[in-house]
Structure formats: C-alpha cells, structure tokens
C-alpha cells in the first residue's frame, strides 16, 4: 500500500502531522512515503496563500486556529513545539537536502532533525551556517548535503516533485494520499488512519 505525506519543513502543520504519523505507523505497520515539496512553489502554482496571509484580516479566524492547534497538540501529546521566531523561513535549501536524502538510509533521521531544529529548537533554518551546525549536531553529513543541494539534478528534482504534487491535486501542506485518495490538513489524519485500516483489514 502506498501512503504519502507531501511536506515542507516550513509548515508548522507539517511538523504536527509528522509527530502524529509516527503513531499511525506504529499502530498500522504502514510506513509513510515522505514526498518533499516546496510550499511556496505549490502556493504560486495554485494561487493559494498561507493561513496568515489568507485569513489575517478575518476577525477571529487566526485566534481560532491557534486554539484549534493547541487542542490538536494536547490530544496528540505534542509538547515540544515552539513557533519559530524567524517565521517565515525560506526552506529551499533544507528541502533540496530532503530530495537528496530521499534514497539514503538516513532520510528519516534527516526529516526528524530538520523538523526538530525548525519547530523545537527555534533555529533560523535558511542561514547556511545555522543549517550546517544543525546537520553536524544531528550526526548528518553536512558537507555532502551542502554539495548535493547545489547540483542542478537536486534543484530540478525538487521542482519536479512540487510540480507533480500540484498536478495530482495538492494545493499546500500537509497533504496525504492513501493510494489515490487525497486528504488535506493535519485534522484529516484520523481519516487517513481509518482508510489504511479499511484497506488492510
């Protein structure tokens, strides 16, 4: 069964989803396929916006979303989240790193590390020096990754992954697929788990 998570490290909701996915994988025995995308590229291609840009002028909307996020974290035992003080962060370098890492045995370790440094350690993850230190701290091959993200192959691969995600129907992150069925938003993860269970029972 193919279950996908289309993500960008710059999305706090993608971080929350990543934490919940760990439990779904443990309960179902299914491993999610993490698909790196560039959220800014998705938004440009779909005329979408971040919630802050889209709803900032709507009275009460962002306050409600913050309350909903607090409930989501409480229900799912997420207690290390810190909203990044550098937000919005240009994640193109670390997303290119994800593309490069995708076929490496340390791909999940890279994902865990980047989400940690973005949303638990409050680091400016578009600063090359900060990225390099974060990679080294996490035991990841910083020099190898930095060299790879400069190559045309990796740059094109991230563009292609983003374009393919949009062509499939995605308009942001977090986005999930169970086979060909799309689910959008962290709040749909219970549906994702239900569908996995339905297809595997």
CATH 3.40.50.1980 fits 3-200, yes or no: no
Instruction: Dump pLDDT digits (tens) for 165-179.
Output: 999 999 999 999 999
Distance CA 153, CA 5 (A): 22
CA 79 to chain centre: 18
Residues 176 and 6 sit within 8 Å (Cβ to Cβ): yes
Instruction: Dump pLDDT digits (tens) for 121-164.
Output: 999 999 999 999 999 999 999 999 999 999 999 999 999 999 99
- Percent of the chain beyond pLDDT 70? 96
pLDDT band at 52; cut points 50, 70, 90 = low
Instruction: Dump pLDDT digits (tens) for 64-101.
Output: 888 999 999 999 999 999 999 999 999 999 999 999 99
> What is the model's pTM?
0.94
Residues 39 and 13 sit within 8 Å (Cβ to Cβ): no
pLDDT of amino acid 166? 97
Domain positions in the chain = 3-200
pLDDT of amino acid 53? 66
pLDDT band at 56; cut points 50, 70, 90 = low
């Amino acid at each position: 069964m193919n279950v996908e998570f289309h993500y960008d490290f710059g999305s706090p909701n993608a971080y929350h989803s990543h934490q919940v996915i760990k439990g779904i994988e443990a309960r179902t025995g299914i491993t999610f396929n993490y698909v790196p995308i560039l959220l800014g590229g998705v938004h440009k291609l779909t005329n979408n916006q971040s919630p802050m840009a889209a709803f900032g002028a709507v009275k009460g909307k962002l306050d409600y979303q913050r309350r909903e996020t607090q409930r989501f974290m409480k229900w799912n035992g997420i207690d290390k989240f810190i909203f990044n003080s550098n937000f919005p962060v240009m994640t193109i370098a670390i997303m290119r790193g994800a593309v490069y890492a995708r076929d490496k045995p340390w791909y999940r370790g890279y994902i865990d590390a980047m989400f940690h440094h973005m949303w638990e350690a409050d680091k400016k993850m578009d600063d090359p020096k900060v990225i390099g230190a974060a990679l080294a701290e996490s035991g990841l091959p910083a020099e190898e990754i930095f060299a790879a993200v400069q190559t045309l192959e990796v740059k094109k691969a991230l563009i292609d992954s983003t374009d393919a995600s949009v062509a499939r129907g995605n308009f942001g992150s977090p986005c999930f697929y169970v086979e060909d069925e799309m689910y959008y938003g962290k709040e749909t993860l219970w549906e994702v788990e239900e569908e996995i269970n339905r297809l595997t029972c």
